[in-house]
Structure 1
Amino acid sequence: MPPYAPSVDLHRPARSLVSPALPSRSALWALGPLVLGLGLGMAGCGDRKQTAAAPPPPPEVGVLTLAPRSQAINSELPGRTAAFMNAEVRPQVNGIVQKRLFTEGSQVKAGQVLYQIDPSSYRAALASAKATLSKTQAAARTARVNAERNAELVKIDAVSRQVAQESQAQAAQSQADVAGAQAAVEAAQINLDYTQVKAPIAGRVNLSSVTAGALVTANQAAPLTTIVQLDPMYVDFTQSTAELLGLRRDIDAGRYQGVADQVLPVKLVLEDGTPYPHQGKLAFSGLIVNPGTGGVTLRAAVPNPGGVLMPGMYVRAQLPVGVQPQALLIPQKSVVRDPSGRANVWVVGADDKVERRPVTLAQAIGSQWMVEDGLKSGDRIVVDGFQRVRPGIQVKPVAGSAGTGPATAASGPRAGASAAPGAAQGPAAAASAAVVAQNAPVAPGQR
């Protein structure tokens, strides 16, 4: 029997015994996403390597290079206007008011008759006083003649010496009676004149508190009317002792120039912010500190030809203090405050790296701050692009867009002193400024 031999199908292709079996089509579809993901991952790694190799350019910020300038220093203080003269008109005799001789609110002259009080009783009193005077004058003449005659008779012993002396005494007494009668006439005339109530000063007359037919009494408590003199006007304001002491220290240290002891000019800013066109002068400085307010009262006299100023108006008084020859001014918007409220600025160093530097602000000057400490001439501070700066980063400095315009006069003598509410206040506004968010610029005019 022949050996076993497998049967071979000559019509089927032979399977290779060496090559592995090829994957099916479904297996290839399953491997497709894996291959695609690996390719994208390799491409992403290549992009990250390329980005790390090329760092971004430094951010661009606007800077301002500081340079000292000569700056006029003004002290601005809140105040109230007061009439230059204020007179209350009261009657000095009793009687019935016959008529009022002025228009309420009008301008009157000194000595102008305002009221007429019934003068009939005072005319009669004057006539009686004059009659008494005539009587005493006649008696005085008789006594004088008798005294002269007895003086001659006593020489020839025609009358006794006692009679002569008595006649001399009678003549002297008669002269005294005449003097008393003359005084009574003058008093009666004065009372008659007082029936015409006259304006004691020139000025504007207020409302009348009485009408015709009213009974008034001498030196009554209620005035008939009041008169105020409005040209010039007084402006009373208070300077704190802390501000005054700080100013004196600055002057002694030579920070201010041009400070003089002569009468200082005073300018006013009205309550609506408009400047008053007429300049006044400092007329009085108090010698005693008010224990309630801790301030010294100052008074200025200001012309008021147009009657714009009225008693009781709120104003801001600006007094020149001197000149700061080396003032450093920075825009108010360049100042940022930390959570504690301290002022800081961003300073760009020589290597264009940014640092946060605390500064001491002296006072506001328009839309700028005058710096007392923390900066020097030549420093570059950031005025634009605050959101792109952080401590220690390198920046690309360019010229800033604000803070380079001319400054107005300073509006307060020192940091920490009191100031009036409103714009252009004194340096105390820096001490009481609200704390803003870190890195947030201070808007112009914000304290």
Structure 2
Amino acid sequence: MQTRRTPLLDSLAVAALSATLLAACSGGEPGAAARSAPPPAPMVTVVTVQAEAVPMVAELPGRTAPYLIAELRPQVTGIVKERPFTEGSEVKAGQVLYQIDPAPYQAAHASAAADLARAEANLHAARLKAERYAELVRIEAVSRQANDDAAAALGQARAEVAAAKAALEKAKIDLDYTRVKSPITGRIGRSAVTPGALVTANQDAVLATVQQLDPIYVDLTQSSVELLRLRREIAAGRLQAGAKGEVPVKLILEDGSEYAAEGRLAVAEVTVDEGTGSVTLRARFPNPKGELLPGMYVRARLPQGVRSDAILVPHAALSRDARGTALVMVVDGEGKAEARPVTVAQSFGERWVITGGLAGGERVIVEGLQKIRPGAPVQAQEAGAAPAAPAR
């Protein structure tokens, strides 16, 4: 007996088969569609840089040097009798620092005075004789030869007086040299001799050294290459030189602190040192409290003009590659990260001064650098703006 299928049963069978096939097609691996979707671009913080005028400051190494220095040496030979000063103290110009035994020089002075008196007496006698013979020769009471001899004797007596006066002056100078005086006002160092020591005239050994420390000099060195670059940038108009006049100088001490008083550039050497290839600059600083001592290592900051087209970026935005090239990451027009080599001139506060590689209006990445790579898309958010909702 043949069974007949109704249209309803056929419809149900088709529907069941369709559901089975659909389940088979979609029942593979759960969550595959979700995993195939690309991850969202990382969020980064950027700053939009602008060209602005920035004062350029050079930081140069240097050492302090005394304003005046005097090395004391004896001008006469003798025994040191007194040393009436305290080592390390302040001394005045003209103050007696050493007293050499004056006895032999006093005797020499007295002998020279006696020689001068004898020469002056001989001059007086020769003058009278010459005057007398000059009158007698007119009446031919004496010969012309005798008159000439009297005139010559007068000239010789005058010369002897002049020589005796010079000898007396020399004896007086030697006697004065027995008192070794300070030629300048300043601070005296340690003494190389004590009372009882024998010193000789013009000896190589220094008795003591006096240094004037207020004001004080700071000798700085600047590379001749940097000096040439500075002059070329001024000539090209990229750097505007300051007004002529005294150049202010700030001083950084060895411990990193800033010296309270501001100095002035005093001398700029005109010759390049052949050994170091550098030029020496000398600045003068007030030193009323004696904080700066000769020989201290310091760093000085000198203004070198204003750069009108400088770009400033935060310190955190700059990195360096294996070759030492300075790099910043920027967001290009397609919203992708781009590694950009730049030229760094100096640090200015908490930012770097960029003189090449960046233009005004570009967006520099300052946060989120560890999450990106060059060429990858990023979501940029301006620094200081409200945080944006992450992309889904």
TM-score bucket of the superposed structures, by smaller chain: 0.7 to 0.9
**Bigger Rg, which one:** 1
Aligned amino acid, residue 314 of structure 2: P
Residues 105-124 of structure 1 mapped to structure 2, 5 A cutoff: 105-124=88-107
Q: Work out the CA distance in 2 between the residues paired with 1:43 and 1:97.
A: 114
What's the CA shift string for 1:407-442, capped at 9, x where partnerless? xxxxxxxxxxxxxxxxxxxxxxxxxxxxxxxxxxxx
Q: Work out the CA distance in 1 between the residues paired with 2:125 and 2:194.
A: 51
Instruction: Choose the corresponding residue for 1:373, options 356, 378, 384.
Output: 356
In the alignment, is the contact (CA less than 8 A) between 2:311 and 2:353 conserved in 1? yes
In structure 1, what is the equivalent of residue 297 of structure 2?
314
Aligned amino acid, residue 339 of structure 2: R
Report deviation, 1:390: 2.3
Aligned amino acid, residue 74 of structure 1: V
Report deviation, 1:43: 6.2
In the alignment, is the contact (CA less than 8 A) between 1:384 and 1:401 conserved in 2? no
Aligned amino acid, residue 200 of structure 1: P
User: Aligned pair 1:148/2:137, yes or no?
Assistant: no
In structure 2, what is the equivalent of residue 400 of structure 1?
383
Report deviation, 1:44: 7.0
Instruction: Choose the corresponding residue for 2:310, options 317, 327, 330.
Output: 327
Instruction: Choose the corresponding residue for 1:197, options 171, 175, 180.
Output: 180
* Bigger relative contact order, structure 1 or 2 (CA pairs below 8 A, ≥6 apart): 2
Q: Work out the CA distance in 1 between the residues paired with 2:273 and 2:28.
A: 78
Q: Which runs of 5+ in 1 are unaligned?
A: 1-38, 403-447
Instruction: Choose the corresponding residue for 1:337, options 320, 323, 332.
Output: 320
In structure 2, what is the equivalent of residue 68 of structure 1?
51
Q: Work out the CA distance in 1 between the residues paired with 2:184 and 2:269.
A: 26
In structure 1, what is the equivalent of residue 14 of structure 2?
none
Instruction: Choose the corresponding residue for 2:118, options 132, 135, 145.
Output: 135
User: Aligned pair 1:176/2:154, yes or no?
Assistant: no
Instruction: Choose the corresponding residue for 2:234, options 251, 255, 264.
Output: 251
Aligned amino acid, residue 376 of structure 2: I
Q: Work out the CA distance in 2 between the residues paired with 1:180 and 1:126.
A: 14
In structure 1, what is the equivalent of residue 31 of structure 2?
47
Give the secondary-structure state (helix, strand or coil) at the position aligned to 2:210. Answer: strand
In the alignment, is the contact (CA less than 8 A) between 1:111 and 1:201 conserved in 2? yes
Q: Work out the CA distance in 2 between the residues paired with 1:44 and 1:170.
A: 144
- Structure with more of its chain in strand, by fraction: 2
Q: Work out the CA distance in 2 between the residues paired with 1:356 and 1:208.
A: 64
In structure 2, what is the equivalent of residue 275 of structure 1?
258
Q: Work out the CA distance in 2 between the residues paired with 1:76 and 1:238.
A: 10
User: Aligned pair 1:104/2:87, yes or no?
Assistant: yes
Q: Work out the CA distance in 2 between the residues paired with 1:401 and 1:356.
A: 23
Q: Work out the CA distance in 2 between the residues paired with 1:226 and 1:124.
A: 31
Aligned-residue identity in percent? 53
Residue 383 and residue 57 in structure 1: after superposition, are their counterparts in 2 closer, same or farther (change >3 A)?
A: same
Q: Work out the CA distance in 1 between the residues paired with 2:228 and 2:246.
A: 20
Residue 195 and residue 338 in structure 1: after superposition, are their counterparts in 2 closer, same or farther (change >3 A)?
A: closer
Q: Work out the CA distance in 1 between the residues paired with 2:99 and 2:245.
A: 48
What RMSD, in angstroms, separates the aligned Cα atoms of the two structures?
2.1
Instruction: Choose the corresponding residue for 2:216, options 222, 225, 233.
Output: 233
Q: Work out the CA distance in 2 between the residues paired with 1:365 and 1:43.
A: 63
In the alignment, is the contact (CA less than 8 A) between 1:269 and 1:317 conserved in 2? yes
Residue 43 and residue 81 in structure 1: after superposition, are their counterparts in 2 closer, same or farther (change >3 A)?
A: farther
User: Aligned pair 1:303/2:286, yes or no?
Assistant: yes
Counting matched residue pairs gives 363
Give the secondary-structure state (helix, strand or coil) at the position aligned to 2:44. Answer: strand
The alignment's TM-score, normalised by the length of structure 1, stands at: 0.77
Q: Work out the CA distance in 2 between the residues paired with 1:234 and 1:119.
A: 38
Q: Which runs of 5+ in 2 are unaligned?
A: 1-22, 386-392
Q: Work out the CA distance in 1 between the residues paired with 2:92 and 2:46.
A: 64
Residue 263 and residue 50 in structure 1: after superposition, are their counterparts in 2 closer, same or farther (change >3 A)?
A: closer
Instruction: Choose the corresponding residue for 1:217, options 181, 200, 217.
Output: 200
In the alignment, is the contact (CA less than 8 A) between 2:234 and 2:241 conserved in 1? no
Q: Work out the CA distance in 2 between the residues paired with 1:183 and 1:247.
A: 60
Q: Work out the CA distance in 1 between the residues paired with 2:28 and 2:131.
A: 146
Give the secondary-structure state (helix, strand or coil) at the position aligned to 1:45. Answer: coil
In structure 1, what is the equivalent of residue 11 of structure 2?
none
In structure 2, what is the equivalent of residue 163 of structure 1?
146
